[in-house]
Amino acid sequence: MCGIVGFFSQENFELLSNYLPAAVQSLSRRGPDDFGVAVSQSDGIGIGHRRLSIIDLSFAGHQPMESADHCFTIVFNGEIYNFKDLRKELQTLGFFFRSNSDTEVVLNSYRQWGPACLDRFIGMFAFAIWDKTSQKFFIARDRLGIKPLYYYFKEGTFIFGSELKSLMAFPVFQRQADPDAFHLYLHYQYVPAPKTIFENTFKLEPGHFLIFDGKALTKRQWWKIPGSESEVLTSNRMSENDAISRLDRLLTQAVSDRLISDVPLGALLSGGVDSSIVVALMQKVNRSPVKTFSIGFEEKGYNEAPWAREIANHLGTDHTELYASSQDALQVIPQLPEIYDEPFGDSSSIPTYLVSMLTRRQVTVALSGDGGDEQFAGYVRYWMTAAVARYINCLPRSIRKRIGNHIGKIPISKLHSFYKKVWNILPQRMRVENFSDKWQKLVNQLSHSELPDLYRATVSIWSKDDIFSLTGCCVPQGNYENIFSSYTQIDTIQRLMMVDQQTYLPDDMLTKVDRASMAASLEVRVPLLDHRVVEFTSQLPMSLKIRDGKGKYLLTELLCKYVPRQLVDRPKMGFGVPIAQWFRKELKELLNDYLSFDRLKVEGLLDCQLVQRFLSEHQLGLYNHQHRLWTLLMWEMWRERWLK
């Protein structure tokens, strides 16, 4: 994998070109193997690249890469898995290749087909091509948003890069936080696209391309996830066995495509359905044992390592397991503002970084199971929201709110004690390790009636009312509302999944994996998000995704072809760390320092007394505010690193 950065500015060319090497260097972890820059004063442009060598390790794959006619120059981040087939097609059209890299295939594909070349690519990517003849930048991002792309545009200066830190390396970049983005961050724990935390700075959305002609930006969507009723037709007529067979073929092909590499390759294995099916199919098409990696914690409820070990033993993989102590995890926290150069409040970034570091010791490329929950209705919140919408809304809102206020006051310790007593008699779908979080979200839902608001109560960290109390401002609208209003004629759970696939998946899950893995110089590939798989699963009826209240039905049935069912049927466990306990012990001093009354009063953004109340309630064990407090801690640590 790689890091890219570039600019266009006639007025500030000299200043920007002087700082281009520093901007490229800021991405060194994304590409430790090679470094390159190219500038043109007559054009007013500069582009740079850091390379993690995966395919064609020779200097022939060096970037920025110029076309044979010197009219086009590319910087590319990603992998095109069908590049060999495209290369053959382009050769029949008269193109000559000087390297064996997929980068040159992308460059010549654009020369031949223009923006339509994007439809031909199977892979993950973010790239920029400078067209010297037309004096335009063409910038594109892959269908699902696996690879990131940021851009800044103000007063004729255009800058783009793989990470915000590469934009911040230029002195002309103004580090002015966007108040709306700050409130959205508090609400969702990430800044949703197309916004970033900075003004005049944006994320290029998944499945979009951008053209900049030196004066204006033109943005277009070139791919979207199928989601209308008319598109859910063919697969509805398929039998269950046929659907399993087709999914098997599609996923096997997706996994096989992602085994193309000139460097060592392995897989991240948590023991859950998603990563297990990826590893099972890797082992299916591999002659030798696949290298698999998992991480465990001593704290019960956060340790998936035993499950991963059993899956690895059954499949016969070459398995490596690391048990991380709380001290190992705590040492990662000070690095997070550097790794995530935008406020990011998902604490599972800690184990994601730790397992990436473990994996990188032996391999350079790893496959993961990301994307399964959003495609196969794997999250408990899907059926829980649908159930609330269907049944609880029969009660008047005043009664629901009164019930919510009452049960919301039950101490966390009593809830846990009761839950453990009834654990064995509960249906499988209601057995979750993070029960207190689910309970809190159910309580929040009782105050709402409309589906978007009901679902918002499960995915938001600080509610709209909380944020108004906390900051005195309202949460602005964003893509969440737009996407919800775009899918009104489909099944409730399908609608929730479509929202997640276009918000939570790219802006949280894929961002988390990209930054954590790239900080370890590890390339992670995600076969479940192959667009051919996504287009197929988006057309499946809900009966093949949820059965008897349990998600991932079809994917689980496929996995059971390769793994005994007893290794598959287990309570869903989130990939996280025991932040709630740490905030009362190991992290108490750090938390109290960053969220101190005096510190927040000087900053002037938050209601200091309200924050102290949440802090006290959590540390006394009255309530579990771990996600809210973590979001504030990450904001304060990010602000200290990047705004001071």
Count H helices, E strands: the chain?
29, 17
Residue 53's CB is within 10 A of a number of other CB atoms, namely: 20
Q: Per residue in 581-616, pLDDT tens?
A: 889 998 999 999 999 999 999 999 999 999 999 999
Longest dimension (CA), the chain: 74
pTM for the structure as a whole: 0.92
- H-helix segments, 11-133: 13-25, 83-92, 102-113
How many CA within 13 A on the CB side of residue 269? 33
The amino acid sitting at 372 is G
Q: Residue 329: its pLDDT value, please? A: 82
Q: Is 612 exposed, middle or buried (0-12, 13-18, 19+ CB in 10 A)?
A: middle
Q: Residue 486: its pLDDT value, please? A: 84
Helix, strand or coil, per DSSP, at residue 350: helix
Q: Residue 229: its pLDDT value, please? A: 45
Q: Residue 557: its pLDDT value, please? A: 96
- For residue 295, the surrounding DSSP H or E stretch is strand 291-297
8 Å CB contact between 349 and 514 = no
**Tokens for 70?**
């010197």
Q: Residue 644: its pLDDT value, please? A: 77
Q: Taking the mean position of all CA atoms in its chain, how far away is CA 560? A: 27
Residues of the chain with pLDDT under 50: 229-235
Helix, strand or coil, per DSSP, at residue 75: strand
As beta bridge partners, residue 123 has: 80
Tokens 């044979």 — which residue?
A: 68
Q: In the chain, where does the domain assigned CATH 3.60.20.10 lie?
A: 2-221
Q: Residue 328: its pLDDT value, please? A: 86
* Homologous superfamily of 2-221: Aminohydrolase, N-terminal nucleophile (Ntn) domain (3.60.20.10)
Residues noted as catalytic: 2
Q: Report which DSSP code applies to 82.
A: T
Residue 421's CB is within 10 A of a number of other CB atoms, namely: 9
Q: In the chain, where does the domain assigned CATH 3.40.50.620 lie?
A: 229-375+506-567
Q: Residue 230: its pLDDT value, please? A: 46
**Tokens for 148?**
């990131």
CATH of region 229-375+506-567, choose from 3.40.50.620, 1.10.20.60, 2.60.410.10, 3.40.190.10? 3.40.50.620
